[in-house]
Amino acid sequence: MEGKGNAILEVLGNGRMIEYDAEQRRCVLRFTAKPEFCHSGGRVVQGGFVAGWIDCAMAHVINQATEGAMGAATLELKVNYLESTPRTTVEVAAWIERLGRSIAFVEGALTTLDGELLATASSTIKLVRREANHA
């Protein structure tokens, strides 16, 4: 399943959703690191972009799980940087641990396409009802 692009996904490195599993409430997005995201001679992605990728995937899983009825406002995001993220294409999986009426708890993991785990994250998200014409 390849998702349609939007401005945030494009800015974050031509991101796209490649998978959504409704039963597991889990999605996978793919991003390509741009040279301007990097330091150390262009080899390592700056941590803020890593956090942005994971946060974006978490918002997407909320959107998918609520069929577009709810947006995600991040209240807290904790990222564990396990390895340096190289300038490459990465995948971010995000899944819902608990979805309440107004708060959600979401987990995420960033890997290389070969499956090397680079970062993990957990987030507390405030669910924001969307107007019907903005879903």
Burial of 48 (0-12, 13-18, 19+ CB in 10 A): exposed
For residue 6, what pLDDT is reported? 81
For residue 131, what pLDDT is reported? 79
Q: Is pLDDT of 133 > 90? A: no
**pLDDT interval class at 39 (50, 70, 90):** very high
- Spatial distance between the Cα atoms of 15 and 29, rounded to a whole number of angstroms: 7
- Spatial distance between the Cα atoms of 56 and 72, rounded to a whole number of angstroms: 9
Q: Is pLDDT of 3 > 50? A: no
What is the mean predicted confidence (pLDDT) over 4-27? 90
Global pTM value = 0.91
- Average pLDDT taken over every residue of the chain: 93
What is the mean predicted confidence (pLDDT) over 88-103? 98
Of all residues in the chain, the percent with pLDDT exceeding 90 is: 90
Residues in CB range of 16: below 8 A, 6 or more apart: 2, 3, 5, 9, 29, 30
**Into which CATH architecture does domain 7-134 fall?**
Roll (3.10)
- Spatial distance between the Cα atoms of 85 and 45, rounded to a whole number of angstroms: 5
